[in-house]
Amino acid sequence: MESPGALLDHSLLGAADDFPSVLRRKGLLASAPGAGTGVTNAGNSLVPQTQATTILAFKFQGGVLVAGDRRATAGNTVVYDRADKVLEIDRHSVMAIAGVPATAWEMARVLEHSFQFFRRTQLQEMSVDGKVRALSKLLRDNFGFVMQGVGVVVPIFATYDAQAEPSARLYFYDAMGAQFEVADYAATGSGSPAVRGILYYENKWGKKPLSKLNEDDAVMVALRALDTAAESDTATGGVDRDGKIFPVIKIVSRDGISTLADKQIAALFKRGVA
């Protein structure tokens, strides 16, 4: 009987090829997320996925600030300009999403229910490590879809544990579920290179390190970063001055999660950015 490995024509494999890349070249698998943002339908034509970017988070004097622009795109098309990419999971945890909103929002719902079930059955909060690994598992379980070119999600997770030191905790993930805890800031999505540049500059050469900023100054840094990203990345909405659409900004602190009102964001944008 012929072995399964013999069914693959090894002449199809190049020096840097793997099995999924061979399938894509033969039209049997959709394009990888990095090579394109579509999936193939029954007629093998390209159907762009809806994508949501850009997100950022950093520690400041009052806890962790998490922000995301509002734009969702599909290829060259702006699908929606009021997408919520910063989602509350429990009283002290926030998940910000970059990638396919449908998949990310479902992950957020599963996490919310998991944390709530644990709290009600165990009569205590799930540990930070448990929360971080729960999201990591959801990403790993989704990796099969990622390999097919659909459903990629690259989130940021922020939480606050008053019993631990440091209390403010911040993590970013890759699409395979690997988690990385950061000391100062994180950014993902198509506009993240510009955002990371701004945050690095402010943290190293600004008037104060990010961790020493008060809330107003922290919000202005976030707005500057997103506005800068929007100048060079069409998938980042930044601030829509005409439509008066502002990023979603949430603060994770000892007191829980607070969402900044558009009126407050608009005043700080006018004062420190525009």
Active-site annotation holds for 53:
yes
Residue 196 and residue 187 in contact, taking contact as beta carbons nearer than 8 Å:
yes
Cβ within 8 Å of residue 68, ≥6 positions away? 52, 54, 55, 56, 84, 85, 86, 96, 97, 247, 248
What is the C-alpha separation between 3 and 6, in angstroms, rounded?
Answer: 5
DSSP-derived pairing of the beta strands 86-90 and 77-80: unpaired
Angle between helices 215-232 and 262-272 (to 10 degrees): 80
Identity of the amino acid at 32 = A
Which of 37, 53, 159, 236 is catalytic? The answer is 53
- Helix, strand, coil in percent for the chain, rounding step 5: 35, 25, 40
| DSSP per position, 71-94 | -EEETTEEEES----EEEEETTEE
Identify the bridge partners of residue 52 per DSSP, sorted by sequence position: 72, 99
Sign of CA dihedral 147, 148, 149, 151: negative
Distance of CA 191 to the CA centre of its chain: 11
What is the C-alpha separation between 208 and 214, in angstroms, rounded?
Answer: 10
Sign of CA dihedral 168, 60, 183, 85: positive
Give me the active site residues, please: 53
